[in-house]
Amino acid sequence: MAKQKTPSAPARTKKERDAATEKKIVTLATDVAKRSLAGNEPIVRVPTRTKSNTLWNKKKGILQMGPAAQERGLFNLSQAKSFMQTMLHSSSIKDLIAAEKTLSLRGMFYKGLHTVAGTKEKTFADQDESDGILEDLEVSLAALREELHIFAKKAGTMVGNITIIDSGDEIDCRRMGSGGYAIPSIVEPDVIKFKKCDAKFVLHVEKNTVWSRFNEDRFWEKHNCILTEGGGQPPRGVRRLLRRLNEELGLPVYCLLDCDPWGHYIYSVIKQGSISLAFESERLAIPDVKYLGIRASDYRACGLSDDVQIALNDTDIKRAKEIAAYPWFEGHKGWQREIAGMLNNGFKMEVESLITKDISYVTETYVPERLKAKDWLE
């Protein structure tokens, strides 16, 4: 087992977190009321979640949110609906905290959905509108989604040499069969506790199909590791769990992703954070995560056939150039060579392309050799 690191800050208890979140919501409501009673327009200040308001903290190796914000006012016709939606969801969150219960994103949409009295106008047109308001509340209150008692659907899997406690239930991730342990969207210490970990590292793969190959071949058992997947772009629960495994247990995290702009972007998000969730980078990003592959040079190095080539389209090329220009990749010779190599090839490749060598080539040869040689990108 890797040497455990000391968390950057002690985890608050659920009771302490709830009290702090409730206080923020009450403060928000109180500020609105005070402005109204003083004869001023009620407003809510919402930090801007855009690229222009995202800052690259080179020292920490993460993306962070900048100071820009927009005011959402009740008397502005273009903002009145979103203002009221913000108040509506704030009230619902306060109710959830009081009841000590949680709701899904879908559940929050329905909890707030009704027709405004005396009109034919509904509070929310669809769930996307509702989800956007909830994200605004997260950043406005500086409170994470789990602190608002809201969870998203499960979209990740784990298996390996670790035992956890999930909401009081002991889960041995060595005995999860072919399906694995479904990673929940809320994985904070008061929900998920690490009991026993013998693993030396974490291998994160992009898709469930690849994860199933590694699980069936018992890769995690042979190489004493934890194996995770995030269904493509990993959701917050998966990213947060990876961060906790890295930060609290000191486990190195390696990524096996497709050789395409999407795979490169997924790695970037896991490593530095994302623009839309820059306010959560401190608890989601893993600056020292390693990229094992797939790499542009693997087409020749592994002796793959022309059949695995997937031609780059205009969107792929544009996206690859955008990623190469990211500040954290711009000055990185290894990543500049990697992206240029893919563009020069003119095609992308999936991890599954290695099956053309052998069904278990990726688990028995490719990844073990990369790990042994320490052949990765950072």
From the number of C-beta atoms within 10 Å of its C-beta (0-12, 13-18, 19+), residue 346 rates as exposed
Cβ pair 255, 262 in contact under 8 A: no
User: Which residues are CB-contacts of 159 (< 8 A; sequence separation ≥ 6)?
Assistant: 173, 174, 176, 180, 181, 215, 220, 226, 227
Cβ pair 1, 199 in contact under 8 A: yes
Tokens linked to 153? 């659907």
Helix (H) or strand (E) holding 95: helix 80-99
Tokens linked to 122? 């509904």
Return d(Cα 128, Cα 69) in angstroms, integer: 21
From the number of C-beta atoms within 10 Å of its C-beta (0-12, 13-18, 19+), residue 111 rates as middle
Active-site pick, 110, 267, 291, 361: 110
With CA atoms as reference, report the closest residue to 81 among 140, 1, 136: 136
With CA atoms as reference, report the closest residue to 208 among 309, 357, 351: 351
Cβ pair 208, 229 in contact under 8 A: yes
Q: How many CB atoms lie within 10 A of CB 68?
A: 12
Return d(Cα 62, Cα 78) in angstroms, integer: 34
Return d(Cα 215, Cα 327) in angstroms, integer: 36
Return d(Cα 322, Cα 319) in angstroms, integer: 5
Return d(Cα 354, Cα 294) in angstroms, integer: 9
Return d(Cα 340, Cα 350) in angstroms, integer: 17
Q: Where are the beta strands (DSSP E) in the chain?
A: 43-47, 54-57, 62-65, 69-73, 103-104, 150-151, 157-160, 162-166, 169-172, 181-182, 192-197, 201-205, 225-229, 253-256, 290-293, 310-311, 347-348
Task: Identify whether 254 is a catalytic site residue.
Answer: no
By annotation, the residues acting in catalysis are 110
